[in-house]
Amino acid sequence: MVAQGQYTDEFNKLLQTFDAWINFSKASFDYLLVLLDIWVRAFEELMRELVSSQNKGETVENLRQFLQVWSSIFDQVFAQRFQSEDALEIQGKFMNAAITWRLHQQQLMEVFLKMNDLPTRSELDEVYRSLYELRKEVKNLKKTLAESLNNEVL
């Protein structure tokens, strides 16, 4: 028989996971806006550079030259934008929200797996850890046995 409090705990985990997902979605959107801003600024700078070069009588001869100009401009714009305080703050919020979302997702998955009588990640981790320890122990026992057999033969 399942206690009433267990359902409350599971429901609270579900709500916390949903909140974490919403926070992650908001942070992702803000981060994507920063990236979009970088792309727009880089494209604008590229167009200015190409127009300026053309006005000077210089032309881009091939794809390699174009990519060098584009890469140089994009790197400058990207570095400049991501050094700004607001971009760093947005990136930090995005990373924190992603980590929090992932942790809540794992906790919720554990609840669903338990509900369906399936092994959870933590249970499998414990089994793997035990197997590892047993392998080490067997290896040490084999080594000890081989050493004692070698000593008897001598």
Q: What are phi and psi of 142, to 5 degrees?
A: -60, -40
Interhelix angle 63-82/4-55, rounded to 10 degrees, is 130
Q: Would you place residue 59 in the very low, low, confident or very high pLDDT band (cuts 50, 70, 90)?
A: confident
Burial (Cβ within 10 Å: 0-12, 13-18, ≥19) of residue 13? middle
What does the pLDDT look like over 104-136, one tens digit per residue? 998 888 888 888 888 888 889 999 999 999 999
Q: Would you place residue 4 in the very low, low, confident or very high pLDDT band (cuts 50, 70, 90)?
A: low
pLDDT at 37 over 50: yes
The Cα 139–Cα 141 span in angstroms is: 5
**Which segments of the chain does DSSP mark as H helices, in order?**
4-55, 63-82, 85-115, 121-153
* pTM exceeding 0.85: no
The answer for residues whose C-beta is within 8 angstroms of residue 60's C-beta and 6 or more apart is: 50, 53, 66, 69
Domain boundaries in the chain? 4-118, 119-154
| pLDDT reported for residue 60 | 84
